[in-house]
Structure 1
Amino acid sequence: MNADDARLDPVESAGTVRRLPGLSDADLPFHGHHRVREHLLRETARDAGAAPRPRFRRRPALFLAAGAATCAVALAVTLGVSGSDQRPPVARTDPAAVQLLDRAALAAHATPAPAVRDGQFLYTRTTGHSTALSEAKGGRMEALRTDESAERWVSVDGSSGTLTRTAKGTTTDPARGKDKASINGPTYRFLESLPTDPDRLLEMVYADARLNHGPASGSATGPDHQAFVAIGDLLRTVEAPPGVSAALYRAAARIPGVVLVPEVTDAVGRKGVAVARIHDGERTEWIFDQKTMRLLGERTVLLKDSAWGKAGTPVTSVAIVARGITTEAGQPPVH
């Protein structure tokens, strides 16, 4: 199954969005269709033919210690090249995905800001799996599923680092003060300092993506895909202030190649709808509750058969099952 086979019918995806409660252009803080038109005119696709990077173990995008990147997905619909026009094809962003992200932004903005104090911890509990390749008898590679369920306590101001508890044990990441926090290693206080204008915020994300995944970096990921990955990491690693979360969703809607996936299931079996981006034969999906637009989690799905599994296999899938605030690392919040 290739990317062309995986494309979604735009009529179907638009119909899915129309069925979501309250989702219409009238609900948007700007005219969504105008944004889509402007976005398509100014964005160009990156080279989709870059050589795949070697991989032996997959790590879930969710909550890696320094906000490490995962892959994401994007059904890129391209414009054909005609005659002597040799420009790269343009990756179109699905209008239905833009509308869904704006719905998520509206929901995020309407969420009351948490009352947090320095010295406290943001708590997150996740459940899910990743995939690793192991050499079996005869040299055959075997895909093995690894439990990635975890609890994390992230210091609000970074002064106490991050405590992570998994089935393998408990680890503590170093303290990360105001001067050391970054897009790839955020604290709540750092997120509070980010701009709430989607264009300004996206440029900050792209600056880091171009530095580490631009043409001269040797990376096969590319800035567009890495920008999508970085925003996903920010949204999941630390629950951001409502205005920043809303801006992150709207910034993601401006990345070329973002599409809607109408029906998905997260790691604990919850049904939802997703926005996604495709890279290197894989589709990474941000899964939302269809009614509340709350972020449920993320998964990465194979689009073609490989050593990692059959097409359609979720090679990583991690669901967010609890969030809250606590005054002591290692102790879940009291509800």
Structure 2
Amino acid sequence: MTAVDDKRHGSDDERVAIRALVPGVADEDLPFGGRRRVGDRLMRELGGGARAAAPARRWFRRPAGLVVGAAACAVALGVAASLLVSGGGGRVAPVTPPEPAAVRLLDRVAVAAQRAPEPVVRDGQFLYTRTEGFAAVLSEVSEDGRMESSRSDQSLERWESVDGSARTLERYPGGGQDTFDAGKGTLVDPTYRFLESLPTDPEHLLQMFYEDAELNHGAGTDSTLGADQGTFVAIGDLLNGVECPPRVSAALYRAAARIPGVVLVPEATDALGRKGVAVAREHDGERTEWIFDRESLRLLGYRTVVLKDGDWGKAGEAVESKAIIARGVSDRAGEVPRKRS
């Protein structure tokens, strides 16, 4: 089974394989029958023009202009079979419910996340995160407009102020670095103290993401993502970008399980080549995947793959990928914690 097999038919061999990869998934839950964080993703949405490979800072923070689309208020939160009014001509289209297999996996991930030990974090400290990854970049290589795709290294080390009282530090490959004001935190750019304040009821939490999306990027924006994909991406960026309190991580996974169109991907590979199982959502010819270790259910990272051959690559190729290497708590920005996870 390939990463881009959209028309899965569910043979007996496939069912046996998926049950082996994802324990606890029943036959009736199997996902057969059909069912962007940086400026590079924005350029893919807008469709072209010359692109130069430039360093992307805070690459795991999806730009605000892409978080949602115009239909946020139309989504009935947590209701799988509701109807969504489209942006054109008043057409009404059925919402694809989340796959039972994906819901079940996210629930298992949530249970594992909630059991993780609560980190001891003091004001004035920094959350340390080390990631490795890449993003695809398109460049015009000839006068006739021929485009060529290449990879921009998006690896970094990050020290984020726990309480927003100090500047956040990022270091990039080659020795470059930058600092940012942390502030008090928001849903798309949180501090640890902000995350601690979030509700742990999944439906309430999901509603916050949809409301925030509509407030900032609702009707009249240029975003093509739509509310469901925007919310899925925003939650994924948060989980991949910064360590959350265990109870909040669990609530975020359970909230994501309520987003229409979420599916199970039995096999996925992160930027380090680590193999796992993923939950994902497709949008506009791409599939964004959250990748988990099959045994521990720990989040390994994410990737976005294209579903059809095109300028960005062949079907199944990753156009973005990020692997979480280490996390911890530091007393000072620039100091690597002794214990890494």
Is 1:327 the equivalent of 2:331?
Answer: yes
Could you say what the CA RMSD is over the residues aligned between the two structures, in angstroms?
3.2
Paired residue type of 2:307:
L
Is 1:141 the equivalent of 2:134?
Answer: no
Is 1:255 the equivalent of 2:262?
Answer: no
Match of 1:6 in 2: 6
Paired residue type of 1:186:
P
Normalising by structure 2, we get a TM-score of 0.78
Match of 2:47 in 1: 54
Structure 2 Cα separation of the partners of residues 175 and 196 of structure 1: 23
Structure 2 Cα separation of the partners of residues 58 and 229 of structure 1: 23
- From 35, 59, 62, the equivalent of 1:64 is 59
Structure 1 Cα separation of the partners of residues 54 and 300 of structure 2: 18
Q: Percent identity?
A: 56
**Match runs of 1:195-210 below 5 Å:** 195-210=199-214
Match of 2:116 in 1: 111
* 8 Å Cα contact 2:25/2:101 also seen in 1: no
Structure 2 Cα separation of the partners of residues 283 and 263 of structure 1: 13
**Match runs of 1:1-335 below 5 Å:** 6-9=6-9, 18-19=19-20, 23=24, 52-54=45-47, 56=51, 63-64=58-59, 68=63, 87-138=92-143, 139-168=145-174, 169-176=176-183, 178=184, 181-335=185-339
* 8 Å Cα contact 1:276/1:283 also seen in 2: yes
Equivalent pairs counted in the alignment come to 296
SS of the aligned residue for 1:104 comes to helix
What stretches of structure 2 of length at least 5 have no aligned partner? 30-43, 69-79, 83-90
Structure 1 Cα separation of the partners of residues 281 and 54 of structure 2: 18
Paired residue type of 1:304:
K
* 8 Å Cα contact 1:102/1:250 also seen in 2: yes
* 8 Å Cα contact 1:288/1:294 also seen in 2: yes
What stretches of structure 1 of length at least 5 have no aligned partner? 26-32, 34-50, 80-85
Q: Displacement, 1:88?
A: 1.0
Q: Displacement, 1:208?
A: 1.5
Q: C-alpha offsets along residues 195-217 of structure 1, whole Å, 9 cap, x if unaligned?
A: 00000000000011223443332
Q: Displacement, 1:61?
A: 11
Match of 1:47 in 2: none
* 8 Å Cα contact 2:60/2:240 also seen in 1: no
Q: Displacement, 1:20?
A: 5.7
Q: Displacement, 1:64?
A: 3.3
